[in-house]
Amino acid sequence: MRELKVGSVFLLFSLFIIYESLRLGLGTLKKPGSGFLTFCAALLLSVFSIALISRGWRLRESVKPFPRKVILALGILILYSLFMDILGFILSTFLMVGIFFRLAQKRPWWTVAGMSALVTFLAYLVFGILLRVYFPRGFLGM
Amino acid sequence: MNMLRLMLVCGLVLFVFLGAPEAQEKYPNRLIEFVVQSAPGGSADVAARLYSDDLAKVLKVPITAVNRAGGAGIQGVTYVTRAKKDGYTLLQGSGSSIIILPLISKEATYDPLKDLIPLGHFVSVPTVIAVRSDSPFKTLAELIEYARKNPEKLKNSTGGIGTFSYFSLELLCVENKIKITTIPFKSGGEALPALLGGHVDMASNTLTTLGPQMAAGKVRGLAITSKKRDPDFPNLPTTAELGYPDVSFSTWFGVFAPAGVPQTVTSVLVPALEKVFKDPDVVKRAEKAQFTVDYKGPDEFRKFIENEMRLAAKVAEAAKLTKE
Amino acid sequence: METLQSLAYGFSIFLQPTNLLYCFFGVLLGTLVGVLPGLGAGAAISLLLPTVFHAPPVGSMIMLAGICYGAMYGGSTTSILVNIPGEVASVVSTFDGYQMARQGRAGPALGIAAFGSFIAGSFGVIGLMLFAPTLANFALRFGPPEYFSLAVMSLTLVTYVSKGSIIRSLMMACTGLILSAVGMDPITSKTRFTFGLSALMDGFEIVYVAMGLFGLSEVLINLGQSLKKDTLKTKIGNLLPTRQDWKDSALPIARGTVLGFFLGILPGFGTAITTFVSYAVEKRFSKHPEKFGTGVIEGVAGPEASNNSASSGTFIPLLSLGIPVNVSTSILLGALMILGLQPGPLLISSKPDLFWGLVASMYIGNVMLVILNLPLIGVWVQVLRVPYSILSVLIILFCEVGAYSVGNSVDDVLLMNIFGLFGYLVKRYKFEGAPFILALVLGPMFENSLRRALMMSDGSPAIFFSRPLSAVFLVIALFFLISPLFTRERIGKKAIEMQEE
């Protein structure tokens, strides 16, 4: 079942790329176009996807459920990257690290806050000050 | 108890960060983000670091040169045009991203004259058209003659379609009605081995890249696009001398602010930049790095940009380079 | 004889206290930057550029050069310990290095990496000293057709860096090739596959892709498996490589050194691909190729040696011809210009104090690095003692901040997270990240040199065979493809058997 799903995803992807590559133009041998390589690669990919699907057709495996924790973690990370500009590096990092500390192990909120404050501060020190990386400032200006 | 103490320390630390209000007084009074349009080490980056510290001293605030190199410089410009118009985000703009890219790239959605205020032109680097020293072409005329008889046979290497070095050659081709096949590379530095290794017949590249090779005798320059002959290469004729005064594109760098920045800000920045760009130390450093310092004030700079835009548009049209 | 005299001259310049200090500071900073994921030697060097205005030229160059090769030492640290590549060139070290760490052999892995780096780096400097101009001119003979053939050869190694199913590896490779095209096409200067998103305008930066694909996904996998805390705590064995380790690593280090050095002189080739090639070569010549990927020391020794000798190699075109080969050397070129040292073919003859002083400093720099890094192994290994519930969060933070620092872009962080998800899915569905990364790294070189070569030959594919160098590499590629048709099945079957155990 797995291979069926995965193979289909890849197949759809490769068909999409083939379409886009044709749109970009394959060019001529004298001046190969932008879509040339991706067209060939996507073509190959579609062939392999079909092979995978046919293999998956024969074997059927059970699928493990998607762990809740992973989805949550990914959600937090994506939110982090989306909010870093608005909240600023320090605040968003503090929140993110805090939530993860709590997620990894159930500790009292005070401990979590202290730990993440320390970690955020150190990160800012090493990257922001020592290595002079320019971090985004949020609406609080930090 | 230990945890609590730790917490308090951290809380204090955070408070220090949080509790620093900004007084909106005299400009500038805090750090300026100076956007540089290339990755570390690119020529824009080198140019910026030549004077950013001196500018910081003159303005009495720290200046951080921040590299925003996306899309051959487009991301840097876009970032600045969208930034707050308070004068704390400035751009070191390169000629190619300000003038050429809006013509050929649909990602460059900014209007160079409407979205940016030119504050001061710093340096320019002329283009050189060159061949290897063992090439049969000894003058530009010979090269053009050959190209006329053999269209598309000559192969040229350049640092990218969106560069002034390429546009110089294209204008030359347009004016002479010849066809030379250009093989673009990602940067001038990458285009150089192609010439040296004999994989292409000629190169249109910056003086910075080709200069040392010419000095060592590996490469023969056929023409240079500056107005006057370069003192290091007195035998290298200018394009104007050879009958192509329009082929005068040079790669240049200057400082810009986003449009909408108040006059209180520009009236501080312009004289500061003038001071820095005319500082003998800065000039010496720039010349050592093969840049020609050519300060232009805001009005002169603006006129210069308008002129270049017209010429570049002409080239783009003739060479059939479009936005799509 | 003359070389020895010049070398002695170089040492006389280098062994002044200020230059020694500059060298030490450079290699120290290089190690630090190499350990921290995201920031590379490039960023560190450009940070220090303003300071070189007010410092003596030779000393400054010694320091900046130290950052370059120092970073190659530090990069393997996080690769081995927590599966996060500190540098692009350290991606390959995650394959076996991390597995070794999980088996409690982090110490030997780090040790062999350090020693291998030292041996390779030193040999690289010898090569630089003796053969710089000759090799530089040799490197010039590589034009677009040769690069294409090299890329083809490297791509055929895809099957070597994978452990399991061939079809899945090939699918990953194709996907990598496709994704490498996202961004600005250097030939037409137009963007493709960006769908209007400015985040994609420059394509995917390998650094954060690797961090997400390998480092972040590993954390996610561990999060998803609710294991008891004990099993997550890694064992810590002895700290130094055993005699057997040394025996096993000797040939890989030798091969890696030679390979890395010659591939490092090629402009635009990149130390990353070199490490992949070294890994594949080691697997090919190993007596137990099916064990690769489970924690064999050859998989760490070869690549780590190759990236250090490649680093020495990158100085050759820079110093002999004034041609930069990668990002770090581009910045060094800029620094040379700013310092008024006039890089170019005349550099060695007009500024012998710089060249020989640098060479001398690189010898001692390598010694300093190995002295610095060895005791640090004990420190690094302690990191593994940190409870995983804390360590995992730190790893996540490391990745996030590291991704940001690559291009000062929050978009990169988002992209890295997405690749973390991708990496998680890859692992979950029994695909592999290695062929993907290899293809992603090779894609640009593969595509652009193909197109440029065809432009050079006016459309005729014969150019790849009419030029001797190019033809040679294509033949080697063919050899790699065909010869193991017998052994490949062996590797594949054995690996699948092992997986099913």
Here the CATH number for the domain that contains residue B59 is 3.40.190.150
Q: Which chain B residues are within 8 Å of C332, Cβ to Cβ? A: 41
Q: Which of C170, C190, C458 sits opposite A34 (nearest CB)?
A: C190
Please tell me what DSSP assigns to residue B114. Answer: H
Q: Do B105 and B75 share a structural domain?
A: yes
Task: Decide the pairing of beta strands B89-94 and B32-36.
Answer: parallel
How many domains does chain C contain in total?
Answer: 1
Q: Do B200 and C456 touch (CB under 8 A)?
A: yes
Disruptive mutation site among C49, C192, C339 for chain B (greatest number of B CBs within 10 Å) = C49
In the predicted structure, residue C216 carries a pLDDT above the cut 70: yes
Q: Which of C294, C255, C295, C251 is nearest to C274 (CA)?
A: C255
Q: pLDDT tens across C139-195, in order?
A: 888 999 999 999 998 888 877 777 777 888 889 999 999 999 998 888 887 788 888
Give the CA radius of gyration of chain A. Answer: 23
Q: How far apart are CA C457 and CA C463, in angstroms?
A: 6
Report, as an integer, the average pLDDT of C356-371.
Answer: 88
**Is B298 within the bounds of a domain?**
yes
pLDDT digits (tens, 9 = 90+) for C103-144: 888 888 888 898 899 999 899 988 888 888 888 888 888 999
- Neighboring chain B residues of C345 at a CB cutoff of 8 Å: 212-213, 216, 218
Residue of B nearest to C182 (CA): B71
Is residue B73 within 8 A of residue B101, CB to CB? The reply is: yes
* Cβ-nearest to A140 among B3, B6, B18: B18
Which segment of B41-50, B138-147, C206-215, C266-275 scores lowest on mean pLDDT?
B41-50
Dist CA B267 CA B170 (whole Å): 39
Confidence of residue B17 (pLDDT cuts 50, 70, 90): low
**Does B71 share its domain with B117?**
yes
The reported pLDDT for the residue numbered C234 is: 53
Q: Is B245 a domain residue? A: no
Return the SS3 of C192. strand
Query: For position C491, what pLDDT does the model report?
Result: 54
* CB count in 10 Å sphere of residue C250: 14
In angstroms, the separation between the Cα of residue A100 and the nearest Cα of chain B is 18
Peptide bond before B136: cis, by omega within 30 degrees of 0? no
* Nearest-Cα residue of chain C relative to residue B196: C140
> Do residue B213 and residue C344 have CB atoms under 8 angstroms apart?
yes
pLDDT tens figures, B84-125:
888 899 999 888 888 988 888 877 888 888 999 999 999 998
Write down the ipTM of this complex: 0.90
Inform me whether the pLDDT recorded for C500 exceeds 70: no
Handedness of CA C368, C370, C373, C377 (dihedral sign): negative
Task: Give the span between the Cα atoms of B255 and B270, in whole angstroms.
Answer: 9
Q: Which residues contact C167 (CB under 8 A, 6 or more apart)?
A: A48, A51, A52, A55
Residues of B in contact with C343 (CB under 8 A): 212
What is the rounded distance in angstroms from the CA atom of residue B93 to the CA atom of residue B165?
17
Residue A62 has pLDDT above 70, yes or no: no
- Provide the shortest C-alpha distance from residue C370 to chain A (in Å): 24
Whether A54 contacts A103, CB under 8 Å: no
Nearest chain A alpha carbon to B182: A31
Between chains, do B7 and A114 touch, taking CB under 8 Å as contact? yes
Q: Are B68 and B119 in a shared domain?
A: yes
* Cα→Cα distances C356→A113, B177, B229, C3, C363, Å: 54, 50, 35, 10, 11
Which of C65-79, C246-260, C324-338 has the largest mean confidence?
C246-260
Report the pLDDT averaged over residues C427-446.
89
Residue C316: closest CA among C366, C251, C275, C260: C260
Chain C residues within 8 A of A90 when measuring between CB atoms: none
The amino acid sitting at B97 is S
pLDDT digit string (tens) for C3-35? 788 888 888 888 888 888 889 989 888 888 888
Judge whether B41 lies within some domain: yes
Smallest CA–CA distance, residue A107 to chain B, in Å, is 12
Decide if B7 is inside a domain: no
Spell out which residues of chain C touch residue B215, defining contact as CB-CB under 8 Å. Answer: 342, 344, 346
User: To the nearest whole number, what is the mean pLDDT of chain C?
Assistant: 84
Distance CA C323, CA B165 (A): 18
Query: Which region holds residue A141: left if phi is over 0, alpha if psi is between -120 and 50, else beta?
Result: left
Positive or negative: CA dihedral A102, A104, A106, A111: negative
Check whether A42 has a pLDDT greater than 50: yes
Give the range of the structural domain holding residue B73, as residue numbers without chain letter. 32-125+251-318
Query: Three-state secondary structure along C385-445?
Result: CCCHHHHHHHHHHHHHHHHHHHHCCHHHHHHHHHHHHHHHHHHHCCCCHHHHHHHHHHHHH
Quote the CA–CA distance of B8 and A40 in Å, as a whole number.
61
Q: Do C324 and B193 touch (CB under 8 A)?
A: no
Q: Are residues B181 and B201 in the same domain?
A: yes
The pLDDT score that the predictor gives to residue C160 is: 73
- The answer to the question of residue B239 being in a domain is no
Q: Is residue B25 part of a domain?
A: no
B168 lies in some domain: yes
pLDDT at B225 over 50: yes
Give the pLDDT confidence score for residue A135 in this predicted structure. Answer: 80
pLDDT at C49: 76
| Same domain, yes or no: B52 and B73 | yes
CB contact, 8 Å: B183 with chain A?
A: no
Distance from CA of A26 to the nearest CA of C (A): 11
Query: Do B120 and B264 lie in a common domain?
Result: yes
The model's confidence at residue C242, banded by pLDDT at 50, 70 and 90, is confident
Q: How many residues does chain B have?
A: 324
Arithmetic mean of pLDDT, C199-222? 86
Which chains neighbour C (Cβ–Cβ under 8 Å, 3 or more pairs)? Answer: A, B
β-pairing verdict for B250-258 and B89-94: antiparallel
**Are residues B120 and B261 both part of a single domain?**
yes
What confidence score (pLDDT) does residue B21 get? 47
Residue C140 CA to residue B21 CA, distance in Å, equals: 57
More confident residue, A21 or C41: A21
- Domain span at residue C425 reads 2-500
Q: Are C9 and C50 in contact (CB under 8 A)?
A: no
| DSSP class per residue in B12-41 | HHHHHHHT------SSP-S-EEEEESS-TT
Same domain? B48 vs B79: yes
Residues B130 and B219 in one domain: yes
* Inter-chain touch B193–C50, beta carbons under 8 Å: no
State the smallest CA–CA distance between residue C59 and chain B in angstroms: 18
Q: Do A94 and B22 touch (CB under 8 A)?
A: no
- In chain A, what is the straight-line distance between the N-terminal and C-terminal CA atoms, in Å? 50
CB contact under 8 Å between A131 and C405, yes or no, is yes
Q: With cut-offs at 50, 70 and 90, classify the pLDDT of residue C501.
A: very low
Q: Structure tokens of C90?
A: 């350290």
Report which DSSP code applies to B246.
T
**Number of structural domains found in chain B:** 2
Dmax (CA) for chain C in angstroms is 66
Residue identified by tokens 């390779």 is C120
Residue % of chain A over a pLDDT of 90: 9
Judge whether residue B80 has pLDDT over 70. yes
- Give the H or E element holding residue C253: helix C243-264
Among the listed residues B183, B156, B160, the one whose alpha carbon sits nearest the alpha carbon of residue B172:
B156
Q: Are residues B120 and B268 in the same domain?
A: yes
Shared domain check, B98 and B46: yes
Whole-model pTM: value is 0.86
CB C129, CB C3: distance < 8 Å: yes
Q: Is B16 on the interface with A (CB under 8 A)?
A: no
Dihedral sign for Cα C442, C444, C449, C454, please: positive
Residues of chain A with Cβ-Cβ distance to B4 below 8 Å are: 110
Contact B70 C202 (CB under 8 A): yes
User: Three-state secondary structure along chain A?
Assistant: CHHHHHHHHHHHHHHHHHHHHHHHCCECCCCECCCHHHHHHHHHHHHHHHHHHHHHHHCCCCCCCCCHHHHHHHHHHHHHHHHHHHHCHHHHHHHHHHHHHHHHCCCCHHHHHHHHHHHHHHHHHHHHHHCCCCCCCCCCCC
Same domain, B192 and B274: no
**Chain B contact probe: residue of A28, A91, A121, A130 with most B CBs at under 10 A:** A121
Question: How far A61 CA sits from the closest chain C CA (Å)?
Answer: 11
Residues of C in contact with B186 (CB under 8 A): 186, 448
Q: What is the pLDDT of residues A45-58, one digit of tens each?
A: 999 999 888 877 76
Q: Which of B172, B206, B224 is the last residue of a domain?
A: B224
Contact A85 C410 (CB under 8 A): yes
How much is the pLDDT for C350? Answer: 84
Task: Give A99-134 pLDDT, tens digit per residue.
Answer: 888 877 777 888 888 888 888 888 888 887 777 777
Q: Cβ contacts of residue B52 below 8 Å, gap of 6+?
A: B34, B63, B65, C50
pLDDT at C418 over 90: yes
The DSSP-derived string for C212-248 is IIIIIHHHHHHHHS---HHHHSPP---SS--HHHHHH
- The set of residues, in sequence order, having a beta carbon less than 8 Å from that of B7 and lying 6+ positions away, is A110, A111, A113, A114, A117
Residue B256 has pLDDT above 90, yes or no: yes
What is the distance in angstroms between the Cα of A134 and the nearest Cα belonging to chain B? 7
Task: Phi first, then psi: give them for residue A3, nearest 5 degrees.
Answer: -65, -30
